């Protein structure tokens, strides 16, 4: 270990910055955030530092460096582009036993600035000991992506209540209690911005802990996370989804959630497949029973759904169940299949010249008498059919009967955003035959509308008239209304 990681308390302590450029401005910003009283020495100043001086946040000495300027300083930073000046600062600071950092010169420094993740009062520092600052910043970015933005709020929340817990619980009970607080309902509510809900959950947990044996780790009612897993590519999961997958005790996952996404969950979490097959009308009841069973046992349950929980995912039914039984829940949106498929196939669902609106329809609704097929068949409108592969001939027939032209563009995206993705394009008259001939399999989406023929490489003239002459002369949308 080349450096001992330490955190210096600089509140109201004097610090000297030698240099007036952009790099010096960054160091000044960090020192000010730590509460230091900063003095800047430089013949000239960058605009950012000038603004700092004007706000009287730091002191400016418009002159060259002199060793006597180090008197009384707690630390010094040299951030000039003159190595001789930097070396002089380093030498003078070392002689006075003052910690010194020379930017980009570990050999002249007695301390270095790490890459910092700031969730005050939680701080994480990453260092490569000066060997690879770019790599250290990259590691910082990866860690930062996993830490909730309100993590510092959680630290302050728990800190404010430590004395109350010490009075209420014995020594052996406290650790189990705090483990449940920082990983359970209280933390989830606080990280979601629900301060009132966090206060209530904390008070309830404390009351329960006083009445039960905390040493056993017993807990009250659990909570449920309805998480949208997106199209299946784990890199398209939201940060919130990753965070909650890491703290869930149980994962109830759908059939189309791939192993690559399940690998992002806690290693010791119990995994239960609850995917529904076509025509299975009993599985949803089993899902409801599992949610209630695990919540009653105090578990944190991730209900992991493909796409988005509220787009043909029956998420609404599940939160009705949870609300009825007073079980806390959080909904985490995911990239729904229509958006993922359109992006993967480079098909804009709306386009200034081609489509002014878009509708999502489930293929199971083909026989729904309330579905307005005439509105779905208009030319300047995009329709995305979910789960419509088995109903494809019926969908085509309904659209044609409602006035859609035979040469109306259509596209099928199979395994969108996943390995083996295929995009098949044809007109409405031939799309079903193409799907059958290519043996398209689920998961697959059907996109119908002028945008289905879109290609980014087309010329502007082609984009202005992407359909065949017959389709281009079709009546406007309002003529079919």
pTM score, whole prediction: 0.65
Specify the pLDDT at position 476. 34
Domain that holds residue 190: 151-216
Q: For 212-239, how does the pLDDT look when each residue is reduced to its tens digit (9 = 90+)?
A: 644 444 455 688 999 999 998 999 999 8
Across the chain, mean pLDDT equals 88
Q: Which of 163, 198, 216 is the last residue of a domain?
A: 216
Q: For 10-22, how does the pLDDT look when each residue is reduced to its tens digit (9 = 90+)?
A: 999 999 999 999 9
| Residue 283 predicted with pLDDT over 90 | no
Q: For 383-431, how does the pLDDT look when each residue is reduced to its tens digit (9 = 90+)?
A: 999 998 989 999 999 999 999 999 999 999 999 988 889 999 999 999 9
Specify the pLDDT at position 25. 93
Which whole number is the average pLDDT over 246-252? 92
Question: Does 135 reside within a domain?
Answer: no
Catalytic residues: 254, 276
Specify the pLDDT at position 465. 44
Question: Does 206 reside within a domain?
Answer: yes
Same domain, 350 and 467: yes
Which whole number is the average pLDDT over 89-94? 97
The sign one gets for the Cα dihedral 18, 23, 29, 30 is negative
Q: How many domains does the chain have?
A: 4
Token pair 């450096």 in the structure block, residue: 3
Same domain, 386 and 466: yes
Question: Does 7 reside within a domain?
Answer: no
Same domain, 292 and 379: no
Q: For 133-176, how does the pLDDT look when each residue is reduced to its tens digit (9 = 90+)?
A: 889 889 999 888 888 889 999 999 999 999 999 988 887 678 77
Same domain, 321 and 301: yes
Q: For 202-214, how does the pLDDT look when each residue is reduced to its tens digit (9 = 90+)?
A: 998 898 888 764 4
Question: Does 395 reside within a domain?
Answer: yes
| Residue 82 predicted with pLDDT over 80 | yes
Which whole number is the average pLDDT over 274-278? 75
Rounded distance between C-alpha atoms, residue 188 and residue 247, angstroms: 10
Cβ proximity of 409 and 427 under 8 Å: yes
- Residue 77 tokens, joined: 């930073």
Residue 272 pLDDT class (50, 70, 90 cuts): very high
Q: Residue 378: give its domain's CATH number.
A: 3.30.950.10
């Amino acid at each position: 270990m080349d450096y001992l990681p330490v955190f210096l308390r600089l509140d109201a302590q004097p610090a000297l910055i030698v240099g007036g450029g952009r790099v010096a401005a960054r160091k000044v910003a960090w020192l000010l955030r730590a509460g230091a009283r900063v003095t800047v020495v430089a013949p000239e100043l960058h605009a950012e530092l000038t603004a700092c001086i004007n706000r009287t946040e730091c002191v400016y000495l418009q002159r060259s460096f002199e060793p006597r300027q180090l008197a009384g300083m707690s630390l010094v930073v040299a951030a000039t582009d003159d190595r001789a000046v930097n070396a002089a600062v380093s030498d003078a600071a070392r002689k006075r036993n003052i910690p010194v950092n020379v930017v980009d010169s570990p050999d002249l420094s007695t301390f270095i600035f790490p890459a910092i993740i700031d969730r005050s009062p939680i701080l994480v520092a990453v260092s490569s000991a000066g060997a690879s600052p770019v790599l250290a910043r990259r590691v910082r970015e990866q860690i930062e992506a996993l830490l909730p933005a309100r993590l510092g709020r959680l630290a302050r929340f728990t800190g404010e209540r430590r004395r109350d817990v010490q009075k209420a619980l014995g020594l052996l009970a406290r650790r189990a209690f705090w483990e449940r607080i920082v990983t359970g309902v209280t933390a989830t509510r606080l990280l979601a911005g629900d301060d009132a809900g966090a206060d209530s959950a904390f008070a309830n947990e404390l009351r329960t802990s006083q009445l039960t044996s905390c040493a056993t780790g017993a807990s009250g009612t659990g909570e449920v996370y309805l998480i949208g897993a997106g199209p299946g590519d784990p890199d398209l999961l939201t940060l919130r989804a990753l965070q909650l997958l890491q703290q869930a005790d149980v994962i109830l996952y759908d059939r189309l959630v791939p192993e690559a996404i399940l690998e992002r969950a806690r290693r010791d979490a119990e995994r239960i497949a609850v995917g529904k097959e076509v025509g299975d009308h009993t599985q949803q009841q089993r899902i409801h029973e599992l949610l209630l069973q695990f919540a009653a046992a105090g578990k944190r349950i991730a209900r992991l759904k493909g796409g988005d929980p509220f787009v043909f995912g029956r998420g609404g039914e599940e939160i009705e169940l949870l609300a009825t039984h007073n079980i806390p829940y959080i909904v985490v949106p995911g990239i729904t299949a229509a958006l993922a498929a359109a992006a993967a196939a480079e098909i804009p669902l709306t386009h200034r010249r081609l489509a002014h609106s878009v509708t999502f329809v489930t293929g199971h609704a083909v026989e729904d008498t309330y579905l307005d097929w005439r509105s779905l068949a208009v030319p300047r409108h995009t329709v995305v059919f979910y789960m419509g592969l088995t109903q494809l001939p019926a969908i085509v027939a309904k659209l044609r009967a409602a006035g859609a032209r035979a040469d109306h563009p259509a596209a099928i995206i199979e395994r969108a955003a996943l390995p083996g993705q295929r995009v098949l394009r044809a007109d409405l008259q031939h799309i079903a035959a193409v799907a059958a001939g290519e043996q398209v399999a689920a998961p697959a989406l059907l996109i119908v509308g002028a945008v289905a023929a879109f290609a980014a490489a087309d010329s502007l003239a082609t984009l202005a008239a992407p359909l065949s002459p017959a389709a281009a002369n079709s009546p406007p949308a309002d003529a079919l209304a």
